[in-house]
Amino acid sequence: MNSFDYEEARREFRWRDPAVELVRANGFNIAELAVFDHAAGACATRTALRWRGKHGEARDITFGELAATTARFANVLRTLGVQRGDVVLALCPRIPELYATAHGTLAVQAVFSPLFAAFGPEPIATRVQAASGRVLVTTASLYARKVAAIRERLATLRHVIVIDDLGGGAPPGTLDWRELVAKASPEIVVESTSPDTLALLHFTSGTTGKPKAAMHVHGAVIAHHATARMALDLREGDVFWCTADPGWVTGTSYGLIAPLTLGVTCVVDEADFVAQRWYELLERERVTVWYTAPTAIRMLMKAGPELARAHDLSALRLAASVGEALPADAVRWGAEVLGVPFRDNWWQTETGGIMIANLPGMEVRPGSMGKPLPGIDAAIVSIAPDGTIATLPSSSVGQLALRPGWPSMFRGYLHDEERYAKCFAGGWYLTGDLARCDDEGYFWFVGRADDVIKSAGHLIGPFEVESALLAHPAVAEAAVIGIPHPVAGEIVKAFVAVKPGFVAGDALRDELIAHARKTLGAAIAPRELAFLPEVPRTRSGKILRRLLRARELGLPEGDLSTLENAA
Structure confidence by residue, pLDDT tens digits, 441-471:
999 998 877 777 877 666 677 887 898 899 8
Cα(391)–Cα(254) distance, integer angstroms = 31
Return the pLDDT at 53. 96
Who has greater pLDDT, 387 or 311? Answer: 311
CA separation for the pair 410, 51 (Å, rounded): 30
Residue 17 has pLDDT above 90, yes or no: no
CA pair distance 232, 83, nearest whole angstrom? 35
The pLDDT-based confidence of 3 (bands split at 50, 70, 90) is: low
Of 55-64, 159-168, 177-186, 516-525, where does mean pLDDT reach its minimum? 516-525
Question: Is residue 19 scored above 50 in pLDDT?
Answer: no
Cβ 481 vs Cβ 548: under 8 Å:
yes
Residue 532 has a pLDDT of: 95
Q: What is the mean pLDDT of residues 38-64?
A: 95
pLDDT at 2: 52
How far are the Cα atoms of 240, 278, 294, 300, 456 from residue 274, in angstroms, in the given order? 19, 6, 15, 9, 44
Q: In this structure, what DSSP letter does residue 255 have?
A: I
Q: How confident is the model over 196-203, as a mean pLDDT?
A: 95
pLDDT at 192: 75
pLDDT band per the 50, 70, 90 thresholds, residue 18: very low
Q: If we measure between CA atoms, which residue out of 266, 284, 98, 67 comes closest to residue 177? A: 98
Look over the chain and give the mean of its residue pLDDT values, rounded to a whole number: 90
pLDDT of 538: 78
Determine what percent of the chain is predicted with pLDDT higher than 90: 72
3-state secondary structure of 221: helix
pLDDT of residue 172 exceeding 80: yes
Crossing angle between the packed helical segments 96-107 and 63-79, to the nearest 10 degrees: 60
What is the reported pLDDT for 526?
Answer: 93
What are the percentages of helix, strand and coil residues in the chain, rounded to 5?
Answer: 35, 25, 45
What DSSP state is assigned to residue 219? G
Per-residue model confidence (pLDDT) at position 562: 62
Average the pLDDT over 3-13 and give the result: 70
Residue 10 phi, psi (nearest 5): -65, -35
DSSP 8-class letter at 486:
T
C-alpha dihedral sign at 279, 282, 283, 285: positive
What pTM, to 2 d.p., does this model score? 0.85
Residue 11 to residues 5, 21, 23, 111, Cα–Cα distance (Å): 10, 11, 11, 25
CA nearest neighbour of 525 among 444, 437, 477, 458: 458
Distance of CA 279 to CAs 244, 290, 300, 392, Å? 16, 12, 9, 44
The answer to whether residues 123 and 546 touch, using CB atoms and an 8 Å cutoff, is: no
pLDDT score at 256 = 97
How crowded is residue 305: how many other Cβ atoms within 10 Å of its Cβ?
13
pLDDT digits (tens, 9 = 90+) for 471-494: 899 999 999 999 988 877 789 999
- The DSSP annotation for 404-463 comes to S--TT----BTT-HHHHHTTEETTEEEEEEEEEE-TTS-EEEEEETTT-EEETTEEE-HH
Task: Please state, in angstroms and as integers, the Cα–Cα distance from residue 116 to each residue in 158, 284, 392, 538, following that order.
Answer: 21, 28, 38, 11
If one compares 215 and 455, the residue with the highest pLDDT of the two is 215
Q: Each residue of 323-336: pLDDT tens digit?
A: 888 889 999 999 99
**Where is 345: in which H helix or E strand?**
strand 342-346
Cα–Cα distance, 350 to 347 (Å, whole number): 8
Integer angstrom CA distances of residue 202 from 197, 348, 485, 563: 15, 11, 38, 16
Instruction: Say if residue 20's pLDDT is above 80.
Output: no
Q: How confident is the model at residue 431 (pLDDT cuts 50, 70, 90)?
A: very high
Does the structure show a pLDDT above 70 at 177? yes
Are 105 and 77 within 8 A, CB to CB? yes
- pLDDT confidence of residue 1: 45
- 244 closest CA partner among 488, 538, 516: 538
Residue 72 has pLDDT above 90, yes or no: yes
Residues β-bridged to residue 151: none
CATH superfamily for 450-553 is ANL, C-terminal domain (3.30.300.30)
The span from the CA of 316 to the CA of 283, in Å, is: 9
Query: Helices 275-284 & 294-303, crossing angle to 10 degrees?
Result: 100
Measured CA to CA, the distance from residue 6 to residue 149 in angstroms comes to: 46
Q: Which of 132-141, 207-216, 253-262 shows the lowest mean pLDDT across its residues?
A: 207-216
* Contact (Cβ atoms closer than 8 angstroms) between residue 312 and residue 264: no
> What is the sign, positive or negative, of the torsion defined by CA atoms of 416, 349, 248, 261?
positive
